[in-house]
C-alpha cells in the first residue's frame, strides 16, 4: 500500500504542509522535510518551482522565483532527495507544473520518484482526462498517486469522474482564487465543504488554500480528512527561517 493510502487510514485529522524546494536557501529542502516530520506533520508537499506558477498566489510565486534563482531544478531536487527515506517515513508528494516533468520525460520523472520514495504528484495544469488517457498507466506502473484539485465551481459530474480515477485523496481548493492565507471561512465555503462531504466520495478530501492557523485548520478538518497549509508556512519561513519550524507546527496543532 502506498504511504499516502496508509496515512489516510489513520484515525486522525491530517496536517499537510507545502513548501518550495530550495527556499529560502538551496540546501534547506531536506532539513525542512526532516523538521516537519519531527514536529508532527502528517504529509509534505514539496513544491518544484516553475517560472509561471498559475495556481499560486504571490507568496508562493515569490518563493518559486527565489528558488529558481538559487539554482533549483528537477535534477537538483532529485539529488537532494536521494537519501530521504533513510530519515523520513511520512508521505512525500511533489507538487509542480507539467512542463518541467514533460521536459524531463514523464516516465523518467515517475521512475525517479519511485526510486527516491516519492508517493504522489500534484500537477495543477494537467487536465484529468489527459492524465486518464495518456499517463495514468505510467503513474500506476511506478506506484505513484496523482492528486487532483476540485474547486467550488467543479461540477458534481466532474467531481465523480475525478473520484473514479483517483486512488488517494482529492485536493479540495477552498475558493476559486489563487493560493494564500485567509483569516477564516465564510458561509459559502462552509456550504461547499458540507456539500462535498455529503457526496460520499470513495476518496477522502483534504482542503487547501486559505488555511493559516489553528482556527482555519479546525474549520477545514471538521468537514474533511485533513488540511494543507502552504502560503502561511512559506511566509513563516521567510520571516523566521527553518530553525523555527517547531513553533509554526505547534501553533497549528495546539
Q: Which of 36-45, 58-67, 94-103, 239-248 has the lowest mean pLDDT?
A: 58-67
pLDDT of residue 128: 95
User: For the segment 147-157, what is each residue's pLDDT rounded down to a tens digit?
Assistant: 999 999 999 99
Q: Which of 45, 52, 156, 247 is catalytic?
A: 45
Higher per-residue pLDDT: 186 or 152:
152
pLDDT of 58 higher than 90: no
User: Quick check: is 45 catalytic?
Assistant: yes
Give the pLDDT mean for 69-96: 97
User: For the segment 203-234, what is each residue's pLDDT rounded down to a tens digit?
Assistant: 999 999 989 999 999 999 999 999 999 999 99
> CA 145 to CA 105: how far, in whole Å?
18
User: For the segment 103-128, what is each residue's pLDDT rounded down to a tens digit?
Assistant: 999 999 999 999 999 999 999 999 99
| Run of H or E including 122 | strand 120-122
pLDDT of 158 higher than 60: yes
pLDDT of residue 100: 93
Give the pLDDT mean for 11-32: 97
pLDDT of residue 47: 97
Higher per-residue pLDDT: 181 or 231:
231
- Comparing CA positions, the residue from 14, 74, 83 lying closest to residue 49 is 74
pLDDT of 13 higher than 90: yes
pLDDT of residue 171: 97
> CA 150 to CA 160: how far, in whole Å?
11
SS (H, E, C) 174-199: CCCCCCCCCCCCCHHHHHHHHHHHCC
Q: Which of 56, 83, 107, 157 is catalytic?
A: 56
> CA 67 to CA 166: how far, in whole Å?
31
Amino acid at each position: 500500500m502506498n504511504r499516502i493510502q496508509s496515512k489516510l487510514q489513520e484515525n486522525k485529522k491530517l496536517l499537510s504542509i507545502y513548501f518550495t524546494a530550495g527556499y529560502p536557501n538551496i540546501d534547506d529542502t531536506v532539513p525542512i522535510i526532516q523538521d516537519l516530520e519531527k514536529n508532527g506533520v502528517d504529509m509534505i508537499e514539496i513544491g518544484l518551482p516553475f517560472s509561471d506558477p498559475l495556481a499560486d498566489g504571490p507568496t508562493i510565486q515569490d518563493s518559486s522565483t527565489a528558488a529558481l534563482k538559487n539554482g533549483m531544478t528537477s535534477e537538483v531536487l532529485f539529488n537532494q532527495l536521494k537519501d530521504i527515506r533513510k530519515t523520513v517515513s511520512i508521505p512525500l508528494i511533489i507538487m509542480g507544473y507539467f512542463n518541467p516533468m514533460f521536459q524531463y520525460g514523464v516516465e523518467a520523472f515517475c521512475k525517479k520518484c519511485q526510486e527516491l520514495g516519492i508517493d504522489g504528484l500534484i500537477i495543477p495544469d494537467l487536465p484529468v482526462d489527459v492524465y486518464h488517457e495518456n499517463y495514468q498507466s505510467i503513474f500506476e506502473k511506478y506506484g505513484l498517486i496523482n492528486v487532483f484539485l476540485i474547486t467550488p465551481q467543479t461540477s458534481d459530474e466532474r467531481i465523480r469522474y475525478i473520484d473514479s480515477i483517483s486512488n488517494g485523496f482529492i485536493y479540495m481548493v477552498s475558493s476559486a482564487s489563487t493560493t494564500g492565507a485567509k483569516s477564516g471561512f465564510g458561509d459559502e465555503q462552509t456550504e461547499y465543504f458540507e456539500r462535498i462531504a455529503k457526496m460520499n466520495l470513495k476518496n477522502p478530501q483534504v482542503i487547501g488554500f486559505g488555511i493559516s492557523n489553528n482556527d482555519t485548520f479546525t474549520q477545514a478538518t471538521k468537514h474533511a480528512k485533513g488540511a494543507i497549509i502552504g502560503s502561511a508556512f512559506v511566509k513563516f519561513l521567510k520571516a523566521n527561517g527553518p530553525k523555527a519550524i517547531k513553533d509554526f507546527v505547534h501553533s497549528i496543532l495546539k
